[in-house]
Amino acid sequence: MDDTDKLHIVLCQTSHPGNIGATARAMKNMGFNQLRLVNPLEFPSDHADARASGADDILQQARVFKTLEDAIADCKWVVGTSARHRNLPQPLLTPEPMAQQCLEVVNQGQNVAIIFGHERNGLTNEELSKCHVHVTIPCNPNFSSLNLAAAVQVITYTCFLAFQDTSNTLPKQYIDYDSLASQYAMESFYDHLGQTLTAIHFLEPEFPKRIMPKLRRLFSRANIETTELNILRGILKAINRQFNNNH
């Protein structure tokens, strides 16, 4: 195993602390130890400890965040797990190619996050819009909602197999993850973009019409590089300069 501490499991809005404990156990079974929690309903918790069954160390070093943005700020590739068909899908992977790509990211020394949503509702469209790709676990189409920790078990098992495989084949699509903009930089860009689109009256904050989620989805899918982000920021500055000069 190599650099398993660069793979982060992120649970969003988890309502049952037992699932957090079971997730820690599933992760540790597969040799992963970096757990991040976004706004859990109850944590720390005796229920979590009980279900962890010896993975207490994962729970103790788990980091808790108020927002998903904060939790993935230092990650270069973000995977959202989704059972449902979405209106605005990102590229949709099965676990095996997703795990291969996680390995590529980690082998380049970069952080990857795999995020899991609320037990009943899954990831919200807003949460999914922050992901570069979506992964779906193939399953019975008539009964497709896996228990949260069971989904983590399948995903981390698949990652374990990929990380173990020493016969590393050439990736189908090479991405230089070091060159990618961090999620922190992307959030800053989205703020700037939203302000600019509002200033030129393209975006009306009262009637946003899903413009920003759609633009996020586009830019997430493109894996924006730092130099590209500089160009995009430069365009926004030029627009604002024009606007300010004339008002």
Please state the closest distance from residue 109 (CB atom) to a copy of itself, in A.
Answer: 22
Neighbouring residues of 181: CB distance < 8 A, sequence distance ≥ 6: 189, 224, 225, 226, 228, 229
Selected from 68, 72, 162, 175, the binder of a copy of itself by CB under 8 A is: 175
Residue 208 makes contact with a copy of itself by CB under 8 A: no
Please state the closest distance from residue 81 (CB atom) to a copy of itself, in A.
Answer: 14
Instruction: Look at the block and give the residue holding tokens 């989205």.
Output: 190
Please state the closest distance from residue 66 (CB atom) to a copy of itself, in A.
Answer: 29
Residue 138 makes contact with a copy of itself by CB under 8 A: yes
Rounded Cα distance between 90 and 108, Å, is 23
Rounded Cα distance between 115 and 90, Å, is 14
Q: Which is nearer to a copy of itself, 109 or 243 (CB)?
A: 243
Q: Are strands 77-81 and 7-12 parallel, antiparallel or unpaired?
A: unpaired
Stretch that binds a copy of itself, among 41-49, 109-117, 124-132, 156-164 (CB under 8 A): 156-164
Mark 29-58 with x for binding to a copy of itself (rule: CB under 8 A) and - for no binding: xxx-------------------x-xxx---
Q: Which residues of 197-220 are buried (b: 16+ CB within 10 A; e: fewer)?
A: beeeeebeeeeeeeebbebbbebb
Residue 94 CA: distances (Å) to CA of 6, 98, 204, 223: 21, 6, 37, 19
Number of residues that bind a copy of itself (CB under 8 A): 69
Selected from 63, 74, 195, 243, the binder of a copy of itself by CB under 8 A is: 243
Residue 166 makes contact with a copy of itself by CB under 8 A: no
Selected from 157, 185, 190, 194, the binder of a copy of itself by CB under 8 A is: 157
Angle among Cα 92, 71, 61 to the nearest 5 degrees reads: 115
| Residues 78-137 within binding reach of a copy of itself (CB under 8 A) | 89, 91-94, 96-97, 136-137
Burial class (CB within 10 angstroms; exposed 0-12, middle 13-18, buried 19+) of 54: exposed
Task: Please give the sequence-ordered ranges of beta strands (E in DSSP) within the chain, or none if there are none.
Answer: 7-12, 34-38, 63-65, 77-81, 92-93, 112-116, 133-135
Instruction: Catalog residues that contact a copy of itself under the rule CB under 8 A.
Output: 22, 25-26, 28-31, 51, 53-55, 89, 91-94, 96-97, 136-140, 143-147, 149-150, 153-154, 157, 160-161, 164, 169-170, 172-176, 197, 200-202, 211, 214-215, 218-219, 221-224, 227-228, 231, 234-235, 238-239, 241-243, 245-247
